[in-house]
Structure 1
Amino acid sequence: MTELNFTAPFAYIAVLLILPICCGCPSTPSSHVGQRQATPSRWLRIECTDAIAESQGGLEYRDAEAIKATVPTLERLVPERLGLGTAVHEEANARVLLSGTEADYVQILGDVTKAKVISGRFLTEADGKTAAAVVVIFEHLAEQLFRTGSPVGQSFTIGNLDFTVVGVLSSDWSVVTCDAIIPIQVFDPDHLQLDETSGTELDRIWIKVNSFDQVPTTKEIISNLLRQRHPDIGFKVQ
């Protein structure tokens, strides 16, 4: 078991994200479902290992661009931000681990976590380009917030923002990633009134490698690149 280390305000999220690793594939314990054995994946997860202050930085969008420009084995790159907040719908409310990411995150769900869309749709590139206030939620959150009827088309509030549910994901998954997923373009900790964030631009960068045999080389290239860009900050690529 490898515990993620964040800044002190982000400790609660770190507790939720204790991830055993198998061949680059993360796995997280969940109170919702039992554990399954992780399976090999061409996805790699990049994140900080140090408890870092906001002034020290961390993963940045510029790191993502540098990886795209430098790593020849790269097939796909997906950024992710995380925060802990409260979702409210009428008289119901729930604490949510919120992920801000892009449309390609659906591939991570399918390849790594085995979660799938069971109602509605996932995020699209158009959602990101227009900074649409849409959300995809996991089944367990749908049950908490919406007692009857389909959640798709209904709305709930996080902080100052109203989100329309466009899709529901199965909660029968092997890796807990979050409770709800929104476009990264609308992931604003202040407007969302998040209780816990890392204070960095990005919490994770996901990389899909062209082939399994290129995973070790890709890890080395990315690790060396990040050491050059951030000599005072520790990162892990796994």
Structure 2
Amino acid sequence: MASKVSVKETLIMSIRTLKSNKLRSLLTMLGIVIGNASVITLVGVGKGAQNLASNQLSNLGANVLFIVPGNNDTRRRGVAFPKNLVLKDAEAIKEQVPSVKRVAPQISSSEVVQYKSKSFSSSILGITPNFLQVRSFDIANGRFITKEDLKSARNVAVIGSDLNKDLFMRNQAIGKKLRIKDQSFEIIGIMEPKGAVFGNNQDKNVYIPLNTMVNRISGKDPTYGISLSFISIEALNEQSINKAKFQITNLLRQRHKITKDDDFAVRSQKDALNIVSNITGGLTLMLAAIGGISLIVGGIGIMNIMLVSVSERTEEIGLRKALGARSSDILIQFLIESLILSILGGLIGTLVGVSSVGAVALITPLPAQIGAKVIMLTVSLSGSIGLVFGVLPARRAARLDPIVALRSL
């Protein structure tokens, strides 16, 4: 009569069996270790990319809208932006849109900045005094551009913190002269570090009065006059953002005499964040899927090794059945062996993956991170894979005829 084998006894036998084949067990677990580590690392990196983008967007300023020339179609086709967003548009928005608090028109150009024998390529931004408040920038040393600087088109400049280090090292930059094109500019201020936005390091920018930019650097457009790169708008508060967006769109459509497609786009920080979140979310999902494939490959490895183990342990299975072990006991033992391999491999892979995410966050600018839910889900998934891929070998072992198995003794 078949005697019932306790789960504890089965577990002890499974552990002994795995210990007796340490190298094989380690190689079997390797696939799960790599799969688990891949999932956690790739998801952590994807989450880090999402965090980095969110942090950069938060640097754009609070309650801010951005008006850029060109519509979505021109951006998709890579067509050069039209020059129909002009200074008078910015002035009209300030005067006629009640939900707007401040307006900061801007002209951008890439130029070589020189100080003595040193030269660097930098973004030159022609701005107005409102830029500081609208974009939530701060001054570290000196002062910012004033209304008098703007009105008189003075050759003064405020530089970013990184550019200050590149040009002057530890020397005092205030009062020094730097050259942009053939013009000399006096440095009146240094910005607090702000960081990068979409790959553009804002700490290497040079800020000069808008009128100076037009008169000395960019010039006027013969058709449109003072063409702007874009306009930054600060709404009265967070609740006014949608209202301001609607009012600005209607005003510019009237000013530009638009009857069909807009020749401009109004974007909020939230719009940009949603776009970036969708992109990075899709990237994270794709990376998780790639890691998941590694887990499945690890599961197939477990199944292959367990099938080989069944073939090698035919005599053992036959002997146990002859001594009274039931098919269910054999089935449970092989499933437990698969579970032990997959769960242990999952835990080791989790440790490796979490360490990799920490290393990425420590060594690179990417704020990679991984949540407890993802870790628990990954470990559970690796255990499930061991169970699923261990079923076939376990069933094959359980179905062995003890008489046939004992003939090989």
TM range (shorter): 0.7 to 0.9
Does structure 1 residue 218 correspond to structure 2 residue 244? yes
Change (3 A) 1:137 1:234: same
Partner of 2:357: none
- CA shift digits 1:167-205 (9 cap, x unpaired): 11122446454611000011038x4389xxxx9711111
Higher helix share: 2
Q: Structure 1: where are the runs of 5+ without partners? A: 1-27
Distance 1:105 1:187 in 2: 15
Q: Describe the SS at the equivalent of 2:166.
A: helix
1:65, CA displacement in angstroms? 2.5
- C-alpha displacement at 1:164, in angstroms? 0.6
Residues 103 and 125, structure 1, Cα contact 8 Å, conserved in 2: yes
DSSP-derived class of the 1:63 partner: helix
Q: State how 1:3-42 maps to structure 2 within 5 Å.
A: 35-36=55-56, 38=58, 41-42=62-63
Match of 1:134 in 2: 156
CA radius of gyration, larger in:
2
Aligned to 1:43: 64
C-alpha distance 48-63 of structure 1, shift in aligned 2 (>3 A): same
User: 1:160 corresponds to which residue?
Assistant: 182
1:36–1:229 distance in 2 versus 1, CA, 3 Å: closer
User: Which residue does 2:106 correspond to in 1?
Assistant: 80
SS class of match (1:82): strand
Please name the residue that 1:144 is paired with: 166
Q: Residue 36 of structure 1: CA displacement?
A: 5.0
Kindly provide the amino acid, as one letter, of the partner of residue 91 in structure 2: E
RMSD of equivalent CA atoms = 3.0
Match of 1:102 among 105, 113, 128: 128
Aligned to 2:265: 235
Distance 1:75 1:172 in 2: 23
Q: Between Structure 1 and Structure 2, which shows a larger proportion of strand residues?
A: 1
Q: What's the TM-score once normalised by structure 1's chain length?
A: 0.72
Give the one of 187, 197, 217 matched to 1:192: 217
Deviation at 1:211, TM superposition (A): 1.8
Please report how far the alpha carbon of residue 66 of structure 1 lies from its aligned counterpart in structure 2 after TM superposition: 2.2
Following superposition, the deviation at residue 148 of structure 1 comes to: 4.1
Calculate the TM-score normalised by the size of structure 2.
Answer: 0.44
In 1, the alpha carbon distance for the partners of 2:96 and 2:232 equals 15
Q: Which 4+ runs in 1 deviate beyond 3 A?
A: 34-37, 49-54, 172-178, 191-194
The 1:179/1:70 distance shift into structure 2, 3 A limit, reads: same
